[in-house]
Chain A
Amino acid sequence: KAGVTQTPRYLIKTRGQQVTLSCSPISGHRSVSWYQQTPGQGLQFLFEYFSETQRNKGNFPGRFSGRQFSNSRSEMNVSTLELGDSALYLCASSLAGVAAGELFFGEGSRLTVL
């Protein structure tokens, strides 16, 4: 069974640009979550999508947005990039119900903002 796939793995952008990251969950998983990982702030929850609906949102500015498609694939977008947005962005998929919280993570997309 294929794992969670994130693309691109690495990218470099400049301040003010925007970026779109993609995540393909494990087949059958309908929940997709996004987390930002930085050395200073650690792992922080961005948002979660389930059946194409945003179920939860973390404490991030509106520049961070996401969506989920009917095949459960998800994208997140960051507009007007700032230096502080440099981070590893992790996508995780999960089953619902009793398996909630058991997240299967991708290897992440490492974003560098110059």
Chain B
Amino acid sequence: AQSVAQPEDQVKVAEGNPLTVKCTYSVSGNPYLFWYVQYPNRGLQFLLKYITGDNLVKGSYGFEAEFNKSQTSFHLKKPSALVSDSALYFCAVRVPGQDNAGNMLTFGGGTRLMVKP
């Protein structure tokens, strides 16, 4: 069975500083990896995904994520945090190659990012 872990419930950074939100995964096979963000009382918004190719993936709002196969990690990063980045971030995995996989994602528990002015 596949699983995703986000080891930090909360990450606090100062505005302008770099941020990292950690994610590790456990799957059999090559995963599709995703990051989503959730603002208060809203649904989730897609940020970026990794399928194959370059290990550094760029996404929306200046976010990027680095895929590391040996460490089974997919950490979300941003060079300079904004107060408006404060939200709940979810890492997710989908295992391709199964005809019926469809859009069934397994999500991590979420990490609350707080960016202070």
- Residues in A lying within 8 Å of B, measured CB to CB: 4, 31, 33, 35, 42-45, 48, 50, 55-56, 58, 90, 92, 94, 96, 98, 100-108
A55: chain B residues within 8 A (beta carbon): 100, 102
**Distance, CA A33 to CA B36, complexed state (A):** 15
A48 pairs with B43, CB closer than 8 A: no
CB proximity to A under 8 Å, residues B65-117: 90, 92, 94, 96, 100-110
Interface residues of B (CB under 8 A from A): 32, 34, 36, 41-46, 49, 51, 90, 92, 94, 96, 100-110
Question: Is the CB–CB distance between B32 and A100 below 8 Å?
Answer: yes
For the complex, what is the distance from the CA of A106 to the CA of B45, rounded to whole Å?
Answer: 9
For A94, the chain B residues whose CB sits under 8 A away are 103
- Bound-state CA distance A90–B46 (Å) is 14
Complex contact A105–B45 (CB within 8 A): yes
**Interface of A (DSSP majority class):** strand
Nearest CB of chain A from residue B21's CB, rounded to whole Å: 15
Closest residue of chain B to A56, judged by CB? Answer: B104
A80 vs B72: C-alpha distance when bound (angstroms): 41
Question: Which of chain B's residues have a CB closer than 8 A to the CB of A102?
Answer: 34, 46, 49
Chain A residues within 8 Å of B36, by CB? 103, 105
Q: Determine which of A44, A100, A104 lies in contact with B102 in the assembled complex, contact meaning CB atoms within 8 Å.
A: A100
CA distance A26 to B104 in the complex (A): 18
Q: A42-B109, A43-B90 are in contact. Are A105 and B44 (CB under 8 A)?
A: yes
Asked if B94 contacts A100 (CB within 8 A), the reply is: yes
Picked from A4, A33, A98, the residue with its CB within 8 Å of the CB of B103 is: A33
